[in-house]
């Protein structure tokens, strides 16, 4: 999944990027202007938004960002202690509010919780046919035995799971797994090869009818 970090404090922004890029694709912006430019060219799953930006109040940026990236989940990051700021941010459409200083593990946990809630998943462990996928541990198992998936294979499987029952195009999947891709560089074979590998590894244990090909579009997980 793709994350935009809009944070004025460079050291904090770089620390968040270093931590989150183990799981997510991350872009950085240190001003509201930089953030808006990135939002014009990219679709993000999460936008982590500092309120204390040098060129625009973060709450004003949140209003504009919601128009540019309505599908994104927003977490406000701020040292402001006023309850009014928190209430206004949530009223403007933020999904969560994390006061500084905060633990990066807590930030990641809140992101996981928001993703599960929006996808309608009640728990981080989900049964897919005869398999169990653990979104927090980033593992897929069959009869309590882990199946060796590559990082990209798991990213692809979990992204489809978080958008379960929705057909996802190859372009959408490529953008959210590999990052921004120019149309001339786009090659749907990237996705097809990974799906083929996932099916091969899982079908060695049990059928995977829930991982469906949508002709002319892409793929979906049907639950």
Three-class DSSP labels, 146-184 = EECCCHHHHHHHHHHHHCCCCCEEHHHHHHHHHCCCCCC
CB 6 within 8 A of CB 68: no
3-class secondary-structure state, position 71: coil
**8 CA to centre of own chain:** 22
pLDDT the model gives residue 183? 47
Beta-carbon contacts of residue 83 (< 8 Å; ≥ 6 apart): none
The reported pTM is 0.78
Report the C-alpha dihedral over residues 80, 85, 86, 87, rounded to 10 degrees.
Answer: 160
Query: Over its length of 223 residues, how does the chain's per-residue pLDDT go in tens digits?
Result: 899 999 999 999 999 999 998 888 899 999 999 999 999 888 899 999 998 899 998 889 999 999 888 889 999 998 876 788 778 888 888 999 998 889 999 999 999 999 888 888 878 889 988 999 998 889 999 998 999 999 889 999 999 998 899 999 988 888 777 765 544 445 558 889 999 999 999 999 999 999 999 998 999 999 8
């Amino acid at each position: 999944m793709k994350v935009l970090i809009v944070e004025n404090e460079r050291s904090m922004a770089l620390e968040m990027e270093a931590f989150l890029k183990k799981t997510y694709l991350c872009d950085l912006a240190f001003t509201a202007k930089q953030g808006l430019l990135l939002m014009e060219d990219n679709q993000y799953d999460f936008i982590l938004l500092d309120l204390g930006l040098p060129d625009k109040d973060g709450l004003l940026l949140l209003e504009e960002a919601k128009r540019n990236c309505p599908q994104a989940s927003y977490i406000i990051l701020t040292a402001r202690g006023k309850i009014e700021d928190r209430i206004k941010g949530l009223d403007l459409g933020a999904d969560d509010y994390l006061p500084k200083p905060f633990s990066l593990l807590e930030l990641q946990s809140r992101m996981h919780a928001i993703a599960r809630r929006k996808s309608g998943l009640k728990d981080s462990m989900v049964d897919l046919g005869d398999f169990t996928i653990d979104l927090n541990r980033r593992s897929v198992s069959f009869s309590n035995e882990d199946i060796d998936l590559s990082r990209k294979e798991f990213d692809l499987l979990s992204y489809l799971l978080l958008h379960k029952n929705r057909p996802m195009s190859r372009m959408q999947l490529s953008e959210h797994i590999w990052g921004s891709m120019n149309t001339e560089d786009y090659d749907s074979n990237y996705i097809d090869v990974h799906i083929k590998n996932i099916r091969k590894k899982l079908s060695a244990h049990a059928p995977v009818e829930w991982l469906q090909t949508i002709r002319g579009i892409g793929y979906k997980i049907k639950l």
